[in-house]
Amino acid sequence: MSPNELSAAERLLVAPEAAKHLRISERTLAKHRCYGTGPVYRKNGGRIVYTLADLEAWSRRGERRSTSDQAAVVTPPAKQHAALAPAYARRHGDD
């Protein structure tokens, strides 16, 4: 399949393009990668790439109908959380 035949959802964006698409800084996107709170990414050689479908899926997780939406899933901020940190899991037998 040639690059021209790829669907729009499978088009690959490098990290700066992905950050711009999500309207967040490149640094914030990098932090999300480090903490495992961001969109799914791929590593092709040494380059980080994202598909539009993965970026859209991650962004939709933060979708809300109102400020009191009980069914809403929280998209965590780009910072390390104790419950997500590998060291926390080892200390508490979660691994």
pLDDT exceeds 70 at position 94: no
What is the predicted pLDDT for the residue at 88? 47
What is the predicted pLDDT for the residue at 29? 95
9, 53 in Cβ contact below 8 A? Answer: yes
For each of the domains in the chain, give its residue range(s) and CATH number, in order of start.
9-62+77-91 (1.10.1660.10)
38, 32 in Cβ contact below 8 A? Answer: yes
Model pTM score: 0.69
Residue-wise pLDDT tens digits, 47-67 = 999 999 999 999 998 888 888
SS3 content of the chain, % helix, strand, coil (to 5): 40, 10, 45
